[in-house]
Amino acid sequence: MNEFVETLLDLPWQVGDPKPAYDVVIIGAGGHGLATAYYLATRHGITNVCVLDANYIGSGNSGRNTTIIRSNYGIPESVAFYQHSLEMYQQLEAETGSWIMHSTKGQIWLAHSVSTARTERTRALMNEACGAKTDYIGPEEIKRLCPQIDLTGGGRYPVQGASYHHEGATARHDRVVWTYAQGALRNGVHVFQHTPVTGLLKDGDRVTGVQTPKGNISAGVVLSAVGGHVSTVAGWAGVRLPIRTHALQAFVTNAYAQEFAPIVSSNDLVFYISQTPRGQMLIGAEYDRQASYRTSTSYSYLQACSAKATTLFPFLSKLRILRSWAGICDVSTDFSPILGHTGVDGLMISTGWGTWGFKAIPAAGEQLAELIATGTAPPLIAPFGLDRFAKEAAMADPSSAGTR
């Protein structure tokens, strides 16, 4: 975070170095780590908590996502979890008194072929049955919601219909991080930036703390809320994870002066687009195929993605790409998150967030805080434990990435 931004925020940093011991140490001060600390303090009165980050708060994937909040997932357990998160986002400003620039926009998930239209009809029915408000809409309604769209799809991708997720929303990602940081700090949680965790302390098979350049910190529970580098952290405890790290790229154009109201995803073209509060058009697609820890963007991605986006939205050809970036995502092999116990005493985990982590921040933080406080996983996240793979109960969700 630059010094100018820091002067605008009321973040009551504690002074000095970390204490030698805490009840809970959280590795990673992104949205998930800070939200868990916030809910530990506010819901369960556990304030002897320390959150550590190798860089500044929100410098990882919390600062690199495309800020979309939605709950139209592919399996009932996921819909219930993300719908809870979506509703918590709607209440977050009222709860914290802090503006996160939450805006309900609606998400249109387009189909350009008969078979995809069938997929979208199924998605709408399934989501509606599980509690996520979704309807199947036709081209006329799509044109009304999003006048910029070329319904012929450049002659090659005619719009057949779409599933319309009414409560799809966006929020400013940095503000979400700052809101949780502020809430946690005000409740006595310690947050240390630029304090990388370099190893875990162990007593026999049990994890008892973390090693940092500022000294060893012992902890009753260590929670890894690490993004792409999570396999390294788990490896210190001998835990194998079903995680492969991929780079996900995205970019924004310069400002578009008109309003572009909804979030639009295309199932067949595999990209999605929304407008930021600054008016920039924010465009993303799938993560890079090869496993990688490299956060640079590629010309070929920008070219391919722009070609797809201008096919549906010809006005984009008059804009210019302003900025592109990439985050390294912890993609799980069944495309669902992994939350809770690791099988090693004293170590818990919040990972597998792949390309769907931002929308889950409030619910995952709240539910993990309850798990840490009570020792048992609440029903909403119980299906998402790491032990599901050994039980042959993987939560395969083919529609977890926003483009499929």
Partner 1 sequence: MLWIECPNCGSRPFEEYRYGSVFPVTPDSITDPDARNIDHAWMQDNIQGVTQERWFHESGCRRWFTATRDTTTDVFLD
Q: Interface residues with partner 1 (CB under 8 A)?
A: 229, 231-232, 240-245, 289-294, 296, 298-300, 333-334, 389-390, 392, 394
Among the listed residues 27, 37, 30, the one whose alpha carbon sits nearest the alpha carbon of residue 58: 30
Closest contact distance (angstroms) between CB of 4 and partner 1 is: 31
> In 39-147, which ranges are E strands?
49-52, 68-69, 103-104, 107-111, 134-137
The residue among 7 and 290 lying less far from partner 1, judged by its C-beta, is: 290
Q: Which of 185, 184, 163, 180 is nearest to 89 (CA)?
A: 180
Instruction: Find the distance separating the first CA and the last CA of the chain, reported in whole Å.
Output: 33
β-pairing, 169-170 with 199-203?
A: unpaired
Of the candidates 127, 6, 25, the one whose C-alpha atom is nearest the C-alpha of residue 71 is 127
**Minimum distance, C-beta of residue 271 to partner 1, in the bound complex (Å):** 17
By beta-carbon proximity to partner 1, the closer residue of 251 and 313 is: 251
* Smallest distance, partner 1 to C-beta of residue 358, A: 22
CB of 386 to partner 1, least distance (A): 10
Min. distance of Cβ 209 from partner 1 in angstroms? 23
Distances (CA, A) of 20 to 25, 75, 199, 210: 11, 43, 15, 10
CB of 5 to partner 1, least distance (A): 28
**Closest CB to partner 1 among 241 and 349?**
241
Contact yes or no for 342/237 (Cβ under 8 A): yes
CA distance 388 to 290: 26
Q: Closer to partner 1 at the Cβ: 170 or 224?
A: 224
Between residues 292 and 310, which has the closer beta carbon with respect to partner 1?
292
Considering the complex, state which of residue 182 and residue 249 has its C-beta at the smaller distance from partner 1.
Answer: 249
Q: How far apart are CA 73 and CA 354, in angstroms?
A: 14
Contact indicator for 29, 58 with CB cutoff of 8 Å: yes
Encoding tokens for residue 315?
Answer: 């006005």
Tokens of 238: 């001998």
Least distance (Å) between residue 1 CB and partner 1:
24
Q: In Å, how far are 33, 141, 317, 404 from 252, measured between CA atoms? A: 27, 27, 13, 21
CB 222 within 8 A of CB 210: yes
Q: Nearer Cβ to partner 1, position 291 or 322?
A: 291
With beta carbons less than 8 A apart as the criterion, state whether 166 and 106 touch.
yes
Query: What's the closest the beta carbon of residue 174 comes to partner 1, in angstroms?
Result: 26
CA–CA distance, 166 with 158 (Å, rounded to integer): 23
Q: 174, 133 in Cβ contact below 8 A?
A: no
Min. distance of Cβ 110 from partner 1 in angstroms?
Answer: 25
Q: Which is nearer to partner 1, 90 or 333 (CB)?
A: 333
Residue with Cβ nearer partner 1 (37 or 243): 243
CB of 146 to partner 1, least distance (A): 30
Q: How many CB atoms lie within 10 A of CB 334?
A: 19
Quick one: 218 or 292, whose CB is closer to partner 1? 292
Burial of residue 41, with CB atoms counted within 10 A of its CB: 0-12 exposed, 13-18 middle, 19 or more buried = buried
